Amino acid sequence: MEGDSICSTAGYLGGKVLFMNEETLVYSTGSALLFLNIRTGTQVHHWTGDYSSIVMFAVNRSKNLFCVSQHQLQATIQVYSYQSFKPVAKLVDGEVEIRFNALAFSECGTYIMAIGDAPKFMLSVWDWEKGVLMASVSVPEELASGNASFLDGDQLAVAVVGLHAARVYVLKKMLGRWNIFPVDVDVYSHGSPLLLNAEGLKVN
């Protein structure tokens, strides 16, 4: 399919496009995910079992996993093994209704984070392999529809970026319980440093 675009060859409707591996792109076509081999042009549709729209999805290449969240009365996240397409976990946060607006795997593939829709805009982090919701915290509305990513190393952290705001959260285990805390961070915009405090507000 050299020279072709995905919108002309495989019904791409817009939205996020990710690499599942070196040869395979994945994106949503509405109520399914389409896995497109960019070398051969082979397409595989993954249907989740109902006709709810897929709102968000994420992949983890190191563990060959992907997860999806759909528009439903009770927002859930389904984790699947790629190629077998078998479900391996189902995640729920009782504080979140209808949908998640952001979804991401940690680099190691052990953790999943999501940001829920109104009214509470909950940032939730799971150890999905243990089926444990580690911690949740409400985030400002301006961050609720943005992008998010993990830093997983000696310290587990999440960066959340909205259109005009950004915030970093760290997860800490205290007295046997995980908690999420916002931290101060320097954000650079057009070459100028902006110091954002723990509330995500400019302070200089």
Instruction: With beta carbons less than 8 A apart as the criterion, state whether 73 and 50 touch.
Output: no
Structure confidence at residue 94 (pLDDT): 67
Q: What is the pLDDT of residues 33-75, one digit of tens each?
A: 999 999 999 999 888 766 667 778 999 999 999 999 877 667 7
Nearest in space to 119 (alpha carbons), one of 143, 152, 97: 97
Beta bridge partners of residue 74, listed in sequence order = 97
Angstrom distance (rounded) from CA 181 to CA 172: 8
Check if the beta carbon of residue 168 is closer than 8 Å to that of residue 159.
yes
Residues 67 and 26: beta-carbon distance below 8 Å:
no
Whether 87 contacts 104, CB under 8 Å: no
Cross-strand bridge partners of residue 127 = 111, 132
pTM above 0.75, yes or no: yes
**Average pLDDT value for the chain:** 81
Say if residue 21 is exposed, middle or buried (CB neighbours under 10 Å; 0-12, 13-18, 19+).
Answer: middle
The pLDDT value given to residue 203: 43
Nearest to 20 by CA among 69, 58, 77: 58
- Which residue type does 102 have? A
What's the average pLDDT block by block, 10 residues per block, for the chain (204 residues)?
Answer: 49 80 91 90 83 82 92 81 93 73 91 87 92 90 82 80 83 91 65 50 45
Q: What are phi and psi of 110, to 5 degrees?
A: -80, -30
pLDDT of residue 152: 73
pLDDT tens-digit profile of 72-92? 667 789 999 998 999 999 988
